Amino acid sequence: MCKKCEAIVPDLHASLEDWTVHILTAHHDWLYREFPLLLHTLQKLKNRDDCPIGLEKILNTLMVLKEDLDTHMAKEERVLFPLIRLMEVTNRPPQDLSVMPGTVVGPIHCMEGEHETTLEILNQLGEDLKNCTPVSASHAWSSVVRAISELAQNIREHIDKENTILFPRARQLEEKLLADPRRFS
């Protein structure tokens, strides 16, 4: 079970379809739901008298992270995941389906590069949190720190599942399909 997202993690050898659905529900949907709530809470906290010193920097880093993730997840949802699922269902490489020139490796490489950027932003967020000084130990601040921690954990799990399971398996499937001699018969 995926912590906080209540989605069952597929078996390591489950279909690529199962993995994309899992990532969409456990991570994308979770982020679409939770990120705006966190930002709303931070905006409210920012307007309080006991606003932590450095909160503005945290808020700015989170806005950069949200923009980064919104673009990234849209690419996965509109291009990469449908391509991976189509390749698995049809048992044909993308170039044989006339859906895109090239291979699935290009979009995957792009996503992996974006994952590096996202991890850098998460590291910056961690630094921002360390440098933030709460005026008082309020329940609201404790809740925000916990929510940011859960957000970062969800994102790291998301990236790990794609980098270590989904993407290598999609590459492997494409290599197998490209090497199949029946492809041209």
Q: What is the pLDDT of residue 95?
A: 74
Residue 48: per-residue pLDDT: 77
Region label for 102, one of left (φ > 0), alpha (ψ between -120 and 50) or beta (otherwise) = left
pLDDT of residue 1: 41
pLDDT tens digits, residue range 17-40? 999 999 999 999 999 999 999 999
- pLDDT on residue 7: 64
Residue percentage of the chain with pLDDT more than 90? 65
- Taking the chain (185 residues) in runs of 10, the rounded mean pLDDT of each run is 59 92 97 96 83 87 97 96 93 75 88 98 94 73 91 97 98 92 68
